[in-house]
Amino acid sequence: MNKINTGLRLRIAWLFFGMMFFFGIEQLFLNKIIRDSSTRGYLTIAYVVALVIFDIPTGILADRISRKLCLLLASFVQIAALIILGTSTTLPIYILGSFVFGIFICLINGAAQAVLYDWLALTNQTKKYAKEQGRNYAAFLIGAGIANIFSGFIANSFGLRSNYFLSIIPAILAFFVLLKLVDPPFAKKVETDWYKHLGEVVREVTRHRKVIVFSVQLVASGVAFYTVGEFGQIYMLAFGISTVALGLFWAIDAVFAAGGRFLAHSFQTYPRLLIITFCFVIFIFALIERKIGIGVFWLFYGLNEAISNVAETEIQHETSSHIRATTLSVVSFAGNLIAIPIILLYTHYYLRHGIFAANKLIIIALVIVLLATLLVRPSKVSQAEDQPLTSMPPAI
């Protein structure tokens, strides 16, 4: 199977993975069943804890055994998560579902990116990775956007639970799309113990300043997503919008996020401009407490996705083939570990002072961290070729 077919197959799978009809109405589901304003924080923490526990093991699995296996397992886990979430009647069960959904994300995180990068490396086209991965993740967000448009109407017509069960259909379709995916040839060090493999990742990350800086930016982007982004529906509901409007507004949010991913490669050589623009937008967002702030929230979401794409791409450029998926998982692990206490602080502050005050708190911290990263790297970033792949063994 050639690179084009692999890229198309991945893009279709991302589209189906994102077509979750519950995304747009989840907060309403929580409000109706749990009626606890702190629920959102608990679920986000459960989700992040799953990432902390499984991110590195799934990355090692992808690097040492098969990227395709991880992606196929992801489809099964996604279906299991949807069944648990859709049948939930209590907070503990829904938290379990959120935890399982986090395992699904771990299985696709790193593996899908590594598949794409390795296929591009076969023809020395790794410079296109940011553009291609941006398009892939944009497909995920387009799928989410399509589902969000219909989510409010589905909930009104058939009930909130139907959104979860309907989402099982695209999850099954994703499995069949990936079933014919062929693992690209990539370097495997199967003779190396897993802890030595992990140690090699840590050494490679810590000795490259560029990897460290972009890792910090990737972590900051994740924190923004887990706090301001995850509580976005609470923010929108604070203005008294309806069920249908929430689904539609969340669909627009997905469109902006897809746009951020799709256009991220345009910022590849201007990372300082991207960071400064993002900081300016979220600063404005923090000052607004009227409905117009929803529009700024959409812009924030799109720029945050662009930052994540650019940072991840540069980490890929600096990483050897045989530890690529694991490296992304290690960076994700560190970011999620840091995010847990921040989510707790954000939730506590939100419960005491409201959503607007909580957003201000986290935004001040984000601006400080992101602007600080501009002091330790050049304004333009080189796009290195993936040299380690030139000595790759034949395809297995």
pLDDT attached to residue 207: 66
117 within domain boundaries? yes
> What is each CA distance from 259 to 229, 249, 384, in whole angstroms?
16, 15, 25
Highest mean pLDDT among 6-10, 57-61, 80-84: 80-84
Structure tokens at 186: 């990539």
Alpha carbon of 335 to those of 47, 97, 315: distances in Å?
Answer: 13, 22, 14
Q: Give the domain CATH number at 71.
A: 1.20.1250.20
Per the structure, the complete domain to which residue 131 belongs is given by 3-182+204-379
% of the chain exceeding 90 in pLDDT: 34
Residue 129's pLDDT band (boundaries 50, 70, 90)? confident
According to the per-residue pLDDT averaged within each range, which of 29-43, 131-145, 247-261, 350-364 is highest? 350-364
Distance of CA 120 to the CA centre of its chain: 21
**Euclidean distance between CA atoms 109 and 133, whole angstroms:** 12
The per-residue pLDDT for 376 is 72
Output the pLDDT for position 201.
64
Q: Which pLDDT belongs to residue 122?
A: 76
| 3-state SS assignment for residue 202 | helix
Residue type, position 390, single letter: T
* Token pair of 29 as six digits: 């589901």
Question: Is residue 324's pLDDT more than 90?
Answer: no
pLDDT at res. 79 = 96
* Closest C-alpha to 66, from 396, 374, 305: 396
Residue 155 lies in a domain: yes
Lowest mean pLDDT among 149-163, 208-222, 381-395: 381-395
CA distance 11 to 112: 10
Distance CA 12, CA 120 (A): 18
Write out pLDDT tens, residues 211-250: 788 888 989 999 999 999 989 989 998 998 888 888 899 8
Q: What's the token pair of residue 178?
A: 């990936």
Interatomic CA distance for residues 327 and 217, integer angstroms? 15
* DSSP single-letter state for residue 192: S
User: Between the ranges 13-22, 175-184, 236-245, where is the mean pLDDT highest?
Assistant: 13-22
Q: What pLDDT digit, counting tens, does each position of 244-292 carry?
A: 888 899 889 888 988 888 888 788 778 889 999 999 999 999 999 999 9
How far is Cα 314 from Cα 332, in angstroms, rounded to an integer?
14
pLDDT in tens, 23-52: 888 888 888 876 776 678 888 899 989 988
Q: How many CB atoms lie within 10 A of CB 318?
A: 18
Spatial contact of 318 and 208, defined as CB atoms under 8 Å apart: yes
Q: Identify the H or E element spanning 389.
A: none
Residue 279 is predicted with a pLDDT of: 94
Q: Measured between alpha carbons, how far is residue 288 from residues 139, 228, 284, 357, 369 in Å?
A: 31, 14, 7, 11, 22
Q: Name the packing angle between helices 209-224 and 355-373 (round to 10°).
A: 170
Query: Is 341 a domain residue?
Result: yes
Residue 251 lies in a domain: yes
Q: Is pLDDT of 200 > 70?
A: no
Establish if 236 belongs to a structural domain: yes
Interatomic CA distance for residues 209 and 182, integer angstroms: 34
pLDDT over 80 at 384, yes or no: no
Give percent above pLDDT 70 in the chain: 84
Give a yes or no: residue 361 inside a domain: yes
Pick from 7-21, 131-145, 323-337 the range whose average pLDDT is largest: 7-21
pTM of the model: 0.75
Domain presence at residue 384: no
pLDDT score for 275: 92
Distance in angstroms (rounded) separating the CA atoms of residues 105 and 20: 13
Number of domains in the chain: 1
Asked, for residue 266, whether it belongs to a domain, the answer is yes
Confidence band for 199, pLDDT divided at 50, 70 and 90? low
Distance CA 385, CA 191 (A): 26
